[in-house]
């Protein structure tokens, strides 16, 4: 790791020192974490970045208007919720809420709790990320994707087998048991 000397204004250095003592990180670790976070924000698409920046401005305005922080007063929380919903409504795209192909899905569309209700899927996503903030890149998610794909393939195979039987044809059961993403080995 290379060192980098940076001149900082006194007030910025004081803010960084305060933040590092609050977080329990060294000053260098605090600076590194904040630079990494700024790069992570750049990776987000512009509409999402604009939305998040707008939401970040809301708590201070709400506290001025209501006299309470959104996370300390039920009324201020309701105002914050409505402000976010209003912002989201402004950004809402036109069209159907039905999903097409979901190659990285971990939850079935056919699940009765999700039928036509994106709010349920949203609640599942929020719950996962609250419990495990790195869930998106976790091995747990990869495993769930793989299991979802296997189940989807088994479901498709079952439908194909049923259709073949209705036509009086045999359906090779070996197709259902082949490992995913691996070509079938053939002898010489």
> Residues near 86 by Cβ (< 8 Å), separated by ≥ 6?
none
Q: Are 83 and 76 in contact (CB under 8 A)?
A: no
pLDDT of 115:
52
Q: What percent of the chain has pLDDT over 70?
A: 86
Closest-CA residue to 161 (of 151, 172, 153, 150): 172
CA distance 126 to 133: 10
User: What are 118-121's contacts with CB under 8 Å, separation 24+?
Assistant: none
pLDDT tens sequence across 140-158: 999 999 998 888 888 777 7
User: 68-108: per-residue pLDDT in tens?
Assistant: 999 999 999 999 999 999 999 999 999 988 777 888 888 87
């Amino acid at each position: 790791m290379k060192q980098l000397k940076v001149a900082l204004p006194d007030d910025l250095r004081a803010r960084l020192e305060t933040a590092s003592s609050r977080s329990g990180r060294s000053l260098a670790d605090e600076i590194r974490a904040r630079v990494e976070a700024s790069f992570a924000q750049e990776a987000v698409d512009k509409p999402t970045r604009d939305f998040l920046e707008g939401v970040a401005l809301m708590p201070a305005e709400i506290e001025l208007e209501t006299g309470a922080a959104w996370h300390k007063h039920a009324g201020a929380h309701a105002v914050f919720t409505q402000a976010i919903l209003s912002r989201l409504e402004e950004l809402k795209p036109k069209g159907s809420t039905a999903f097409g192909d979901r190659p990285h899905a971990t939850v079935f569309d056919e699940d009765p709790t999700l039928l036509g209700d994106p709010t349920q899927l949203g609640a599942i996503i929020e719950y996962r990320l609250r419990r495990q903030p790195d869930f998106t890149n976790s091995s747990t998610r990869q495993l769930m994707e793989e299991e979802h794909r296997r189940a989807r393939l088994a479901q498709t195979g079952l439908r194909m087998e049923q259709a073949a039987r209705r036509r009086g044809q045999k359906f090779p059961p070996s197709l259902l048991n082949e490992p995913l993403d691996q070509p079938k080995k053939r002898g010489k």
